[in-house]
């Protein structure tokens, strides 16, 4: 059965909803190729199969809810809302989603299901592993939680660290002083902090040790207490480095360990400390694990497609390797 109907957009500027040059609207149309979809002012008209129109209306209402909630929407947001569990992206209360107020009063919120799970998990556990592909906001959300804890005086300092595995933790051959040698490896952490703390204040906090950004090798022999500690790029730790880091935890510290097992830069056949820790600690009470997926990717929508393509290719390679072993 076919028909037509109209959907009215209320309380939203259609130009902002549909994006520059109607990029969001045109993307939405490609997701429903069997429907005729047009827009005029605050009215969206659809025609075609009744069941498809019902589905379009359900999904379009989710898009409107998302825009009302976040005052913005992207093609990637639309893709996520099209998933079967898309409605769960909007399922939590507004008041619980602002993690911290960033520069110029920007509200930094958990924007995906698993970002919200990460917020909840760190509220319930002193140590949390956040694992998943690039672009899912693992590190950014963790830094926001650290800044929130510092502002609320729940901790006295923030410690951000990662293995400088590309330089083999041996930074002496690089030009410049120690800070200049380390900065390229720690830039993602600086980028997140700059969104949340004014530059001049951030500089002072780093200078006085309230925020410390250092390579993992510098953690050895220390006890990290009254601190919110983030280990980023943890997939590039060795098993011994991971054990060393986790045992730095002081009585009142919080630890978040983030990583992407698809981007291990360790020498071939050397097991990732992140993989090892997830196996060994899976039944330890008080440790949370949040696994991010492709639906959490909030970068350009091509990133999601790239991750999916690599996953398929890597799975095929593993399958072929298994066949070679069997044939031997």
Q: Same structural domain for residues 72 and 192?
A: no
Bridge partners (DSSP) of residue 43 are 8, 40
Least-confidence region, from 104-108, 130-134, 285-289 = 104-108
Q: Is residue 258 part of a domain?
A: yes
Of residues 304 and 225, more confidently modeled:
225
Is residue 177 domain-resident? Answer: yes
Residue 140 near residue 192, CB atoms below 8 Å: yes
* pLDDT of 94: 44
Tell me the backbone φ, ψ of residue 33, rounded to 5 degrees.
-65, -20
CA geometry: angle at 120 spanning 210 and 161, to 5°? 35
203 and 188 assigned to the same domain? yes
Average pLDDT over residues 210-230: 91
pLDDT one-digit tens code per residue, 62-120 = 899 888 877 788 877 787 788 755 555 555 444 446 788 877 677 788 878 888 899 99
Q: What is the pLDDT of residue 187?
A: 80
Q: For 82-198, where are the alpha helices, taking DSSP H only?
A: 113-124, 138-151, 178-196
In a domain, 99, yes or no: no
Rounded to an integer, the average pLDDT of 198-221 is 90
211 has which bridge partners?
A: 158
Looking at the structure, do residues 115 and 256 belong to the same domain, yes or no?
Answer: yes
Comparing 21-30, 123-132, 171-180, 231-240, which segment has the lowest mean pLDDT?
171-180
User: Does residue 227 share a domain with residue 153?
Assistant: yes
Number of structural domains in the chain: 3
> Domain containing 286 — which CATH number?
3.40.50.300
Q: Which strands sit side by side in the sheet containing 211-215, from one edge to the other? A: 211-215, 157-162, 227-231, 254-259, 127-131, 287-291
In this prediction, residues 54-67 reach a mean pLDDT of 89
pLDDT at 86: 59
- Compute how many other C-beta atoms are within 10 angstroms of the C-beta atom of residue 251: 8
N- to C-terminal Cα distance for the chain?
A: 58
Q: Is the pLDDT of residue 178 over 80?
A: no
Query: Mean pLDDT over residues 282-289, rounded?
Result: 93
pLDDT at position 300 is 65
Domain that holds residue 188: 111-297
CA gap 33, 193 in Å, rounded? 42
The rounded Cα 130 to chain-centroid distance in angstroms is: 9
Q: Which of 184-188, 254-258, 263-267 has the highest mean pLDDT?
A: 254-258
What pLDDT score does 84 carry? 57
User: Picking from 9-18, 107-116, 145-154, 267-276, which range would have the lowest pLDDT averaged per residue?
Assistant: 107-116
Q: Are residue 22 and residue 121 in the same domain, yes or no?
A: no
């Amino acid at each position: 059965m076919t028909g037509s109907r109209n959907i009215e957009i209320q309380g939203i500027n259609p130009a902002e909803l549909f994006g520059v040059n109607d990029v969001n609207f045109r993307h939405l149309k490609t997701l429903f190729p069997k429907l005729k979809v047009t827009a005029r002012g605050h009215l969206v008209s659809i025609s075609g199969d009744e069941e498809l129109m019902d589905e379009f209306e359900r999904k379009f209402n989710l898009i409107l809810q998302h825009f009302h909630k976040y005052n913005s929407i992207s093609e990637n947001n639309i893709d996520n809302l099209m998933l079967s569990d898309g409605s769960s992206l909007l399922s939590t209360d507004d008041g619980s989603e602002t993690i911290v107020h960033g520069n110029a009063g920007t509200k930094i919120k958990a924007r995906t299901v698993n970002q919200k799970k990460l917020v909840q998990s760190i509220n319930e556990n002193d140590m949390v592993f956040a694992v998943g592909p690039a672009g899912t906001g693992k590190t950014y959300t963790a830094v926001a939680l650290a800044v929130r804890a510092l502002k609320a005086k729940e901790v006295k300092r923030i410690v951000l660290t990662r293995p400088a595995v590309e330089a083999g933790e041996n930074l002496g051959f690089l030009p410049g002083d120690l800070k200049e040698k380390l900065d390229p490896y720690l830039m993602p952490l600086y980028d997140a902090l700059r969104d949340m703390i004014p530059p001049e204040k951030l500089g002072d906090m780093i200078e006085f040790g309230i925020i410390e950004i250092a390579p993992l090798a510098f953690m050895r022999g220390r006890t990290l207490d009254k601190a919110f500690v983030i280990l980023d790029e943890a997939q590039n730790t060795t098993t011994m480095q991971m054990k060393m880091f986790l045992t730095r935890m002081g009585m009142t510290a919080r630890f978040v360990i983030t990583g992407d097992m698809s981007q291990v830069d360790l020498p071939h056949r050397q097991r990732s400390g992140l993989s090892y820790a997830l196996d060994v600690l899976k039944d330890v009470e008080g440790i949370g694990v949040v696994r991010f997926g492709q639906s959490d990717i909030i970068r350009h929508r091509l990133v999601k497609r790239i991750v999916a393509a690599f996953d398929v290719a890597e799975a095929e390679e593993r399958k072929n390797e298994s066949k070679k072993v069997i044939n031997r």
